[in-house]
Structure 1
Amino acid sequence: MQPEIQPGDQKRSFIEDARRGQIVAAAISTIAEIGYAKASFVQIARRAGISPGLITYHFAKREELMKQVMLTVHGSMDRALAARSEGAESFCATMRALVEGFVHYCAEHPAELIAIGQIASAARDAEAAREWYAGQAAETLAEMEAMFREGQECGELREFAPRVMAVSLIAAMEAVPAELMARPDTDVTQYAKELADLFEFAVRRA
């Protein structure tokens, strides 16, 4: 039997969740502003308006906080892409929704993309985050490959190597954040359309 949750316990849970979210948001903005190496608990606490001790209460080690940043950003991205692709009636439509949704997410969340990019390439205190990221990347590649293969089996997509196409699409998407940061005047909607067009022409059956 599960223990009964008292109202006070639930309130504390909400408060703790809100505090953890505040710390994660401060960590993201700190990394984006001064870089991963300088994003200490002291710096993060300063931006969150709390004491460093309150961070260690929720995240005993810096590594734990960095993994939570990864989880939070990718969770936010997954929800955004799922909402965009909901109702897509074909494989090409689904792919377009994912590609265009990703480009727009990158444009709307530059700090988040900078933060997870720096964490993924960090030399220390990010082992757990990097391991999770590697697993997530492998899972995403497998899902993309499976989607292409299924599209071929139902006759919507032309014949090609699903893994090669999946690797190529993911590589093109991973290049988006750097391009948008280097060229802030980019027409994001047009960029998203062009990238989606490119891969739709590459995969669809003539």
Structure 2
Amino acid sequence: MILSMSLAYALPSAIFIFVLVLFPLSLLSPIKALSKKTIFSSFIFAWLLTGIALPFKSVAYYQANAYEMYLIQLFLSVITLILMGILRDRPNLTKYSKEVNFLLNRKYSITTDSRINSKFPAVLAYGELVDTARKVKMTTEECAMYIATLYLCGLIKSEGMNPHHEELYRKIKHSEEGPLLSKISKKRYSKFTKEIDKYIATYRAP
């Protein structure tokens, strides 16, 4: 009974903090890379934890000192958002990144270490590309093709087409073949290859 009263009393302030704090935070990097499910789950856990904490001083106390309850909920909301991001989303992102990195190096023969390959994006920029692809629900194969496309377009723009670039172009064009066929949508395959064709036509040597 007491817990039910605490949860009911804590709910309006929990919603208030979610709207004013958690939602705006979810628009900022790197928190924006977290899934909607994780952000909503952090709201639920913060609300439940607040409801459990209130009886330690009584609901009546927090009715008279509402600001303390808001501070507790604010603290719990931010902490649960960070922890759930680390425990739930970040391991998935790390696995996703490793798979993409493996495909870029193995399938497309692109050295992704910018210390060795200065033409490849630096670590932070590379990470942002992976985050962006994951947010729009690209498969790892689509993400690898997406980054390979951007990389090749940059090379064509700065150097034009040469045998090395043509080899990478063939590998990208063949991404739709074999066992990866079902993991790269025809829509994205068409979009990426058309982008490369546009760069080839624009920067072709006279």
TM-score by length of structure 2 reads 0.26
Higher RCO, 1 vs 2 (CA within 8 Å, ≥6 residues apart): 1
The structure whose Rg is larger is 2
TM-score by length of structure 1 reads 0.26
